[in-house]
């Protein structure tokens, strides 16, 4: 049966029998329709790069509606008859850009560009669903599902909020107006789309070659007919609505009967009882639709609580997931997985909602949620839910969800409470429900009984209730969930918060110090200010121009490695992972995988023609001192180490088949030590085969004789791993070509990829050509780690003589590839009362993983004194620690972040022990005549540091459960050049346009934009005449990897030299003819046979190293009961020289800062201590900051009148330094935490800083106990 789907106005025939039954919309858009603007990364609805919109007729209302979805989760067969819109359908270079695309680009909301199409489409879906009228708060709340690692979100939100009806954000004059929002091009006619394409609804059923069956019932009778038929045939069944459950628990590969319930009007409605005693909601209402209904009815007597219901639903996942996920679907997850912390369940259970379970057209039953969970659901559906009325004058209701970040995360603990009061304000009924405790626990039954007949606000009763509740709550210990101790305290804190809130509302005499404990933190709409200089005499250099590729990134025209069109006879590959550390794989049985139709081969080290070595032919001691295998052949060094690959016809098939390969093992480690702490706890700090003393101090001991010091103390610092979280996965397309190999790699270092591939395939370097147009973020993670995928794809392409595409899954990347080095430091300091340092002893340990090929310890040592003046009494020793984990790798500011954190933490600790203001201690120790001594006083004055610090101290004294903190950090970041970078500049005689090819990699840092500016400035032409071509290993031969923030400067230097050569060749023509314009000059030069192509390069030593100074002041607000916090304000001042492009550099500073905030607050890697498995290897478990985690007030300033005399055109790099001062957020939290500890009566002591300082960390160190819970 042939169906069709409309994408961007074009009708595509869908031959279902020729496609997998569970093919995603994303796969069809990209591989069948060839529209690669829609990306994929996590494939579980957690990153947002795949968002597109669907338009269709609502089955219950008959209205045409548009909504955004995650195309990676949406199954193609649920979209038949709908209209799909991707970013290509909104606008492009040929017909003009859509207003959303234009504003995002021109307001600097794009860097690497991989997330940009998803952001565009999320905004488009929001505007379409709201009739074009949205508020700034609605916009800011709607991007929880769109992760951007590059920008820090501020410019994205500014661009999107500029469409809001209450916006006062300035919009560039050239941007399209809001009236243009509805326009999009129709590919059929080339005209603007009128949206009138006919829609076809699929009918009946479709049987696939593998025996799977899809059905599209249009009535309940048809639904039960196909459902009962499947049950009778004993086929595994899936009722398909949004398929969002796949983002939590992976869908079974055994499903044979898919039943689309999306067209059933009977499951989509809602009905308020005639007497308003109940509200019935259809089971197939999406969460978004449910929220809309709740908003409509929240003023209805008895249903005022719906205001809190919709707000709680807003905490679930993200907008595209809520648009697709349904009430019944959410409860179905809970039914299948009792441990799932369902927010829908906990709210409905507290409200004593009933479930309508239907098993035929004529038979249904209304049961409690508890009964539903015990009901076998085979052959049955959830018809709907019945919610009772609860008049607000007698009932008190509230609900809570505490998460590791503001949005798009499952709960540590969720809770909902309903109390019915009698006329004497005593409890008549109580429902006290918690999720996230253990699979069996829902109701705090003993507390519900305890409250009956009592005034819930009596201090004696409150004390007794929390005494019992602390015992009653027994959270399970399941990694990577938060600890049972935290979850118990959090659950108690939430019920206390409920009592405080309702007692305040009912004027029950809550003490003023306790009152704020009854509310959650309320986040205002964020804003930002940027302050910088430009210099017109150097334009377009120093001009704040838009990014070179911004528009084509937003329209999806900018291509990445995986956007290369499908190659003839192309195959896909996926890694096969070993699971037993320390064992040897004795047998590989790929037959279960090879038995699947479409699986072509299993390949491993035996299929590598050359050495099984992931390194260059000529070893470089900095990176490749130790051998690293591509495919493991001996002892398995870490959990999930690759032993081979499966090659198949599709990506989904390769991924599935790889999991079917059976491995047999011999032996195994007696004890797995996967983390830095594991090794240090096991073997101590002494040197061993696990610990290498890499950096030795010149001092044996401190010589304090004759030195005056008043105080000495010691401490520690613990920093965890951090995943780079580039949005584009590790990707390679390897294409055999004329006896060699063309390889398209998402790499920061083409030369290394070329070298490795040539070496393992026994090819000459000139037989391997690597090409990289751009990459979707790197941060160091694609310098060397990209080559595992590159090498594997090349081996497969070589062996099978067919193109092979390998896109590593997020789980595979996070499990097999290294991260930022974890770090531990033990230190002692000796100081005077003023805080002046007399001596420091520091021993630091870095987690190498199983190899130490990429240590950046030298960077950490170089910055470890920061801006400070030390005597000779500074003893620093560095150790590498080998763990049973993947080899770790550079990550933004490698070594420097840790080195600056080490000394800044010591300074902060000194201030704590001496009782001095941390700013004063810093200033007392700054080197005389250092630039920081000039910058710091003005910065503190402009940020009102002293006044704000005093206000915060007063605020904290007045509030027991809400605290604020102010943290300061300063840095001197050492910027060093390295390597060599070639560039070629060519002028075309026909029109005078210029093309540049270079050996660098554009990854979002604005390299190509700055190069265009420099070329335009050097040749005296408009930037629009300059084009930057893709990087490759011909014109970019022998280039060093792009990293360390110096790639842009180095290549700008190279192209300026090339332009100087061209100018010198053109000089004689200029002098002789004095041409009237550029075109005339170039025509004459061409006629005279003057070479209009110039090549030059940067080499190490051409420019001097320099330092970047910066200061960061961060203010936080902290909820002591939950550990949640707001970053209220951040001020960042950075000495960036004379910026080549302030828009680009401000973006780099903000992005680096936010990556640092994530490092210090939410990004936690959890590893199974028994097996070494990484348990936080997906968006469900690893949480970088989202759009509502950014500072509410973000102020970025470049130091004025501060040219860099040794830098390229007086500029400085900005890509990495700012991450080093993000530690200010940890110091702010420390101050807030100390106030909470003081109130709790905890003995005064420095709290060892930890990265990340999660809500769990904060609550466990706050000293809070339920016995302290009082109302007055």
- Whether the Cβ atoms of residue 1147 and residue 150 lie closer than 8 Å to each other: yes
Predicted pLDDT at 174: 77
85: alpha, beta or left, given left = phi > 0 and alpha = psi -120 to 50?
beta
pLDDT single digits (tens) 1159-1172: 999 999 999 999 99
Predicted pLDDT at 1059: 99
Predicted pLDDT at 1: 63
- Whether the Cβ atoms of residue 172 and residue 58 lie closer than 8 Å to each other: no
Quick one: pLDDT band at residue 806, thresholds 50, 70, 90? very high
Q: Which pair of tokens denotes residue 1034?
A: 């011909």
Q: Average pLDDT in the 1173-1196 region?
A: 99
pLDDT single digits (tens) 1051-1107: 999 999 999 999 999 999 999 988 889 999 999 999 999 999 999 999 999 999 999
**H or E stretch covering 289:** helix 287-297
Name which of 1029, 1023, 994, 995 is nearest 1010 in CA terms: 1023
Could you tell me how far CA 1268 lies from the centroid of its own chain?
A: 37
Predicted pLDDT at 871: 74
Q: Average pLDDT in the 624-628 region?
A: 89
Q: Kindly tell me if the per-residue pLDDT of 740 is higher than 90.
A: yes
Same domain, 879 and 896: yes
Q: 551 lies in a domain?
A: no
Q: Kindly tell me if the per-residue pLDDT of 192 is higher than 80.
A: no
Q: What gap in Å lies between CA 601 and CA 56, rounded to an integer?
A: 42
Q: 1203 lies in a domain?
A: yes
Q: What gap in Å lies between CA 707 and CA 830, rounded to an integer?
A: 10
Give strand pairing partners of 588: 663
Quick one: pLDDT band at residue 904, thresholds 50, 70, 90? very high
Pairing relationship of beta strands 354-358 and 381-388 according to DSSP bridges: antiparallel
- Whether the Cβ atoms of residue 53 and residue 60 lie closer than 8 Å to each other: no
Name which of 694, 685, 720 is nearest 625 in CA terms: 694
The response to whether 748 counts as a known ligand-binding position is yes
Pairing relationship of beta strands 583-589 and 381-388 according to DSSP bridges: unpaired
Quick one: pLDDT band at residue 1038, thresholds 50, 70, 90? very high
**Phi, psi (deg, nearest 5) at residue 42:** -80, -30
Domain count, the chain: 6
Same domain, 909 and 1004: no
Q: Which of 1049, 1075, 1099 is the last residue of a domain?
A: 1099
Predicted pLDDT at 623: 75
pLDDT single digits (tens) 133-155: 999 999 999 999 999 999 999 99
Predicted pLDDT at 206: 76
Could you tell me how far CA 18 lies from the centroid of its own chain?
A: 35
**Can the peptide bond before residue 540 be classed as cis, meaning omega within 30 degrees of 0?**
yes
Show the domain range for 133.
2-184
pTM for the predicted model, two decimal places: 0.97
DSSP state letter for 78: G
Predicted pLDDT at 3: 87
DSSP state letter for 887: P
The response to whether 1052 counts as a known ligand-binding position is no
The response to whether 670 counts as a known ligand-binding position is no
1241: alpha, beta or left, given left = phi > 0 and alpha = psi -120 to 50?
left
Q: Kindly tell me if the per-residue pLDDT of 1025 is higher than 80.
A: yes
Predicted pLDDT at 357: 99
- CA angle 1099/1103/1105 to nearest 5° reads 115
The response to whether 401 counts as a known ligand-binding position is yes
pLDDT single digits (tens) 553-585: 999 999 999 999 999 999 999 999 999 999 999
Q: Which pair of tokens denotes residue 289?
A: 């639709």
Same domain, 1048 and 1128: no
Q: Which pair of tokens denotes residue 506?
A: 């009912």
Q: Kindly tell me if the per-residue pLDDT of 39 is higher than 60.
A: yes
DSSP state letter for 83: E
Q: What gap in Å lies between CA 823 and CA 857, rounded to an integer?
A: 11
Q: 514 lies in a domain?
A: no
How many other C-beta atoms lie within 10 A of the C-beta of residue 429?
15
Q: Average pLDDT in the 82-110 region?
A: 97
Same domain, 791 and 840: no
The response to whether 667 counts as a known ligand-binding position is no
Q: What gap in Å lies between CA 1191 and CA 1185, rounded to an integer?
A: 11
Q: What gap in Å lies between CA 983 and CA 522, rounded to an integer?
A: 51
Q: Kindly tell me if the per-residue pLDDT of 603 is higher than 80.
A: yes
- Whether the Cβ atoms of residue 343 and residue 435 lie closer than 8 Å to each other: yes
Q: Average pLDDT in the 902-924 region?
A: 98
User: Which residues have a Cβ under 8 Å from the Cβ of 709 and sit 6 or more positions away?
Assistant: 830, 831, 832, 838, 839
**Phi, psi (deg, nearest 5) at residue 660:** -95, -10
Of 200 and 1208, which is predicted with more confidence?
1208
Same domain, 898 and 1033: no
**Phi, psi (deg, nearest 5) at residue 1189:** -100, -5
Same domain, 49 and 109: yes
User: Which residues have a Cβ under 8 Å from the Cβ of 98 and sit 6 or more positions away?
Assistant: 90, 91, 120, 124, 176, 180, 181, 183, 184, 555
Q: Which of 163, 184, 205 is the last residue of a domain?
A: 184
Same domain, 1049 and 914: no
Q: 715 lies in a domain?
A: no
| Torsion sign, CA atoms 1196, 1200, 1203, 1208 | positive
The response to whether 50 counts as a known ligand-binding position is yes
Predicted pLDDT at 179: 56
Q: What gap in Å lies between CA 357 and CA 345, rounded to an integer?
A: 15
- Whether the Cβ atoms of residue 134 and residue 162 lie closer than 8 Å to each other: no
Predicted pLDDT at 204: 73
Predicted pLDDT at 345: 99
The response to whether 42 counts as a known ligand-binding position is yes
pLDDT single digits (tens) 326-352: 999 999 999 999 999 999 999 999 999
Q: What gap in Å lies between CA 516 and CA 951, rounded to an integer?
A: 17
User: Which residues have a Cβ under 8 Å from the Cβ of 592 and sit 6 or more positions away?
Assistant: 660, 661, 662
- Whether the Cβ atoms of residue 131 and residue 182 lie closer than 8 Å to each other: no
Q: What gap in Å lies between CA 204 and CA 245, rounded to an integer?
A: 25
Q: Kindly tell me if the per-residue pLDDT of 644 is higher than 80.
A: yes
Same domain, 1211 and 1193: yes
Q: What is the CATH number of the domain that holds 114?
A: 3.10.20.30
Predicted pLDDT at 178: 59
Give strand pairing partners of 356: 366, 384
Rounded alpha-carbon distances, angstroms, from residue 330 to 70, 316, 770: 17, 10, 46
Predicted pLDDT at 356: 99
Pairing relationship of beta strands 1093-1099 and 1031-1032 according to DSSP bridges: unpaired
Predicted pLDDT at 188: 38
DSSP state letter for 192: B
Q: 480 lies in a domain?
A: no
Q: Is 1102 exposed, middle or buried (0-12, 13-18, 19+ CB in 10 A)?
A: middle
pLDDT single digits (tens) 463-480: 999 999 999 999 999 999
The response to whether 112 counts as a known ligand-binding position is yes
Q: What is the CATH number of the domain that holds 1143?
A: 3.30.365.10
How many other C-beta atoms lie within 10 A of the C-beta of residue 340?
21
Percentage of residues of the chain with pLDDT beyond 70: 97
Q: Which of 904, 1216, 1256, 1265 is catalytic?
A: 1216
- Whether the Cβ atoms of residue 260 and residue 78 lie closer than 8 Å to each other: yes
Q: Average pLDDT in the 17-24 region?
A: 92
Same domain, 1095 and 1129: no
How many other C-beta atoms lie within 10 A of the C-beta of residue 592?
13
DSSP state letter for 525: P
Q: Which of 1099, 1119, 1143 is the last residue of a domain?
A: 1099
Name which of 902, 813, 897 is nearest 856 in CA terms: 897
pLDDT single digits (tens) 1216-1245: 999 999 999 999 999 999 999 999 999 999
Same domain, 45 and 122: yes
Q: What gap in Å lies between CA 85 and CA 15, rounded to an integer?
A: 20
Q: What gap in Å lies between CA 1141 and CA 1119, rounded to an integer?
A: 40
Same domain, 960 and 1058: no
Quick one: pLDDT band at residue 703, thresholds 50, 70, 90? confident
**H or E stretch covering 228:** helix 220-232
Predicted pLDDT at 292: 98
Is residue 537 part of the annotated active site? The answer reads no
pLDDT single digits (tens) 364-409: 999 999 999 999 999 999 999 999 999 999 999 999 999 999 999 9
Same domain, 355 and 386: yes
The response to whether 148 counts as a known ligand-binding position is yes
Q: Kindly tell me if the per-residue pLDDT of 186 is higher than 60.
A: no
Residues 710-742: b if buried by 16+ CB within 10 A, e if exposed: eeebebebebbbbbbbbbbbbbbbbbbeeebbb
Quote the mean pLDDT of the chain: 96
Q: 536 lies in a domain?
A: no
Rounded alpha-carbon distances, angstroms, from residue 344 to 240, 417, 774: 18, 14, 42
Q: What is the CATH number of the domain that holds 398?
A: 3.30.465.10
User: Mean pLDDT lowest for which of 120-134, 607-621, 1021-1035?
Assistant: 607-621
Predicted pLDDT at 540: 98
Q: Average pLDDT in the 924-930 region?
A: 96
**Can the peptide bond before residue 1252 be classed as cis, meaning omega within 30 degrees of 0?**
yes
Q: 297 lies in a domain?
A: yes
The response to whether 115 counts as a known ligand-binding position is yes
3-state DSSP of 530-570: EECCCCHHHCCCCCCCCCCCHHHHHCCCCCCHHHCCCCCCC
Q: What gap in Å lies between CA 968 and CA 1226, rounded to an integer?
A: 9
Q: In what order do the strands lie in the sheet with 740-745?
A: 599-604, 642-648, 571-577, 804-807, 731-737, 740-745, 768-772, 1031-1032
Predicted pLDDT at 205: 76
Predicted pLDDT at 203: 64
Q: 1211 lies in a domain?
A: yes
Q: Which pair of tokens denotes residue 660?
A: 């079917």
pLDDT single digits (tens) 9-18: 999 999 888 8
């Amino acid at each position: 049966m042939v169906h069709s789907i409309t994408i961007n106005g074009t009708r595509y025939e869908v031959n279902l029998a020729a496609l997998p039954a569970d093919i995603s919309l994303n796969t069809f858009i990209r591989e069948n329709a060839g529209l690669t603007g829609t990306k994929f990364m996590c494939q579980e609805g957690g990153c947002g790069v795949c968002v597109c919109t669907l338009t269709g007729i609502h089955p219950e209302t008959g209205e045409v509606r548009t909504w955004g979805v995650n195309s990676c989760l949406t199954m193609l067969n649920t979209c038949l008859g709908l209209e799909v819109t991707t970013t290509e359908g909104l606008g492009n270079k040929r017909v003009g850009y859509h207003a959303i695309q234009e504003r995002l680009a021109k307001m600097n909301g794009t860097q690497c560009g991989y997330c940009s199409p998803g952001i565009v489409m999320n905004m488009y879906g929001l505007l379409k669903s709201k009739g074009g009228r949205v508020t700034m708060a609605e916009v800011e709340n709607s991007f929880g599902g769109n992760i951007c690692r590059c920008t820090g979100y501020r410019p994205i939100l500014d661009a999107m909020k500029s469409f809001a009806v209450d916006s006062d954000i300035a919009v560039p004059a050239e941007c399209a107006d809001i009236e243009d929002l509805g326009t999009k091009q129709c590919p059929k006619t080339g005209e603007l789309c009128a949206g009138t394409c006919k829609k076809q609804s699929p009918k009946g059923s479709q049987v696939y070659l593998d025996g799977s069956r899809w059905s599209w019932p249009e009535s309940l009778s048809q639904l039960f007919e196909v459902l009962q038929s499947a049950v009778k045939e004993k086929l595994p069944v899936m009722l398909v609505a949004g398929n969002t459950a796949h983002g939590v628990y992976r869908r079974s590969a055994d499903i044979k009967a898919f039943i689309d319930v999306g067209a059933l009007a009977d499951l989509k409605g809602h009905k308020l009882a005639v007497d308003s005693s109940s509200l019935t909601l259809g089971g197939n209402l999406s969460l978004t639709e449910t929220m809309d209904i709740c908003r409509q009815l929240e003023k209805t007597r008895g249903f005022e609580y719906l205001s809190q219901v919709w707000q709680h639903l807003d905490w679930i996942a993200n907008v595209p997931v809520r648009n697709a996920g349904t009430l019944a679907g959410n409860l179905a997850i809970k039914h299948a997985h009792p441990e799932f912390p369902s927010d829908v369940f906990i709210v409905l259970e507290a409200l004593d909602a009933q479930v309508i379970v239907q098993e035929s057209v004529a038979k249904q039953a209304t049961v409690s949620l508890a009964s539903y969970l015990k009901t076998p659901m085979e052959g049955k559906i959830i018809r709907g839910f019945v919610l009772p009325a609860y008049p607000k004058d007698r009932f008190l209701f509230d609900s809570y969800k505490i998460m590791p970040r503001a949005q798009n995360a499952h709960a540590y603990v969720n809770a909902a409470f309903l109390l019915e009061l009698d006329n004497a304000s005593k409890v008549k009924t109580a429902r006290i429900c918690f999720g996230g405790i253990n699979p069996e626990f829902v109701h705090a039954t003993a507390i519900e009984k305890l409250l009956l007949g009592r005034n819930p606000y009596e201090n004696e009763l409150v004390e007794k209730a929390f005494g019992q509740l602390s015992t009653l709550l027994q959270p399970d210990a399941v990694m990577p969930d938060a600890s049972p101790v935290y979850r118990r305290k959090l659950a108690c804190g939430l019920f206390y918060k409920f009592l405080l809130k309702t007692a305040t509302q009912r004027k029950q005499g809550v003490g003023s110090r306790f009152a704020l404990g009854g509310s959650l933190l309320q986040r205002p709409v964020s804003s930002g200010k940027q302050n910088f200089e430009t210099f017109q005499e150097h334009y377009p250099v120093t001009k704040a121009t838009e990014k070179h590729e911004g528009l084509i990134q937003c329209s999806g025209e900018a291509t990445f490695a995986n956007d290369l069109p499908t190659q003839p006879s192309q195959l896909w590959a996926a890694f096969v992972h070993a699971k037993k550390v320390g064992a040897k794989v004795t047998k590989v049985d790929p037959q279960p995988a090879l038995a699947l139709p479409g699986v072509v081969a299993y390949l491993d080290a035996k299929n590598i023609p050359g050495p099984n070595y992931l390194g260059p032919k000529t070893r470089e001691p900095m990176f490749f001192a130790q051998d690293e295998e591509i495919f493991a052949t001996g002892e398995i060094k870490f959990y999930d180490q690759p032993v081979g690959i499966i090659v198949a016809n599709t990506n989904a098939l390769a991924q599935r088949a790889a999991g079917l390969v059976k491995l047999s093992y011999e032996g195994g480690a007696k004890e797995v030590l996967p983390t830095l702490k594991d090794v240090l706890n096991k073997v101590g700090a002494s040197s061993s085969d696990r610990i290498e003393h890499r950096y030795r101090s010149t001092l044996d001991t401190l010589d304090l004789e004759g030195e005056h010091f008043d105080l000495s103390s010691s401490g520690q610092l613990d920093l965890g791993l951090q995943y780079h979280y580039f949005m584009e996965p590790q990707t390679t397309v390897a294409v055999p070509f004329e006896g060699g190999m063309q390889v398209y790699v998402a790499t920061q270092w083409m030369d290394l990829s070329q070298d490795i591939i040539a070496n393992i395939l026994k090819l000459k370097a000139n037989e391997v050509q690597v090409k990289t147009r751009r990459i979707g973020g790197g941060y160091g993670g694609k310098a060397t780690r990209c080559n595992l995928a590159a090498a594997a794809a090349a081996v497969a392409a070589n062996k099978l003589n067919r193109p092979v595409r390998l896109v590593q899954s997020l789980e595979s990347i996070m499990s097999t590839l290294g991260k930022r080095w974890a770090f531990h430091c033990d230190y002692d300091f000796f100081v005077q009362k003023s805080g002046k340092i007399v001596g420091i002893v520091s021993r630091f340990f870095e987690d190498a993983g199983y190899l130490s090929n990429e240590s950046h310890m030298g960077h950490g040592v170089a910055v470890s004194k920061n801006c400070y003046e030390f005597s000779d009494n500074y003893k620093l020793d560095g150790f590498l620690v080998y763990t049973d984990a993947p080899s770790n790798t550079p990550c933004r500011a490698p070594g420097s972040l840790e080195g600056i954190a080490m000394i800044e933490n010591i300074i902060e600790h000194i201030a704590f022990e001496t009782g001095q203001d941390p700013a004063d201690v810093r200033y007392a120790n700054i080197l005389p005549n250092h630039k920081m001594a000039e910058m710091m006083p003005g910065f503190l004055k402009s940020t009102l540091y002293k006044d704000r610090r005093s206000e915060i101290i007063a605020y904290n004294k007045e509030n027991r459960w809400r605290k604020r903190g102010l943290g300061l950090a300063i840095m001197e970041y050492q910027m060093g050049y390295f390597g060599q970078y070639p560039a070629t500049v060519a002028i075309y005689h026909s029109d005078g346009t210029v093309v540049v090819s270079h050996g660098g990699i554009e990854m979002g840092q604005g390299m190509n934009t700055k190069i265009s500016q420099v070329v335009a400035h050097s040749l005296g032409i408009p930037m629009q005449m300059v084009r930057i071509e893709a990087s490759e290993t011909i014109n970019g031969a022998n280039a060093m990897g792009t990293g360390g923030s110096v790639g842009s400067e180095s290549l700008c230097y190279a192209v300026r030299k090339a332009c100087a050569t061209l100018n010198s060749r053109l000089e004689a023509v200029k002098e002789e003819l004095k041409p009237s314009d550029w075109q005339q000059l170039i025509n004459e030069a061409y006629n005279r046979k003057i070479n209009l192509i110039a090549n030059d390069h940067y080499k190490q030593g051409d420019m001097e190293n320099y330092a970047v100074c910066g200061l960061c002041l961060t203010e936080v607000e902290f909820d002591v009961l939950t550990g949640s916090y707001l970053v209220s304000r951040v001020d960042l001042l950075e000495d960036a020289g004379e910026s080549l492009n302030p828009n680009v550099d401000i973006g780099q500073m903000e992005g680096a800062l936010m990556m640092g905030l994530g490092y210090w607050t939410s990004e936690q890697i959890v590893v199974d201590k028994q097996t070494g498995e990484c348990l936080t290897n997906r968006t469900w478990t690893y949480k970088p900051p989202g759009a509502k985690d950014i500072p509410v007030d973000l102020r970025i300033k470049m130091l004025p009148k501060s040219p860099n005399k040794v830098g390229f055109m007086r500029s400085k790099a900005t890509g990495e330094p700012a991450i080093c001062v993000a530690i200010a957020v940890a110091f702010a939290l420390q101050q807030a935490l100390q106030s909470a500890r003081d109130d709790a009566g905890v003995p005064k002591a420095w709290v060892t800083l930890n990265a990340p300082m999660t809500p769990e960390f904060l609550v466990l160190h706050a000293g809070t106990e339920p016995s302290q819970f009082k109302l007055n």
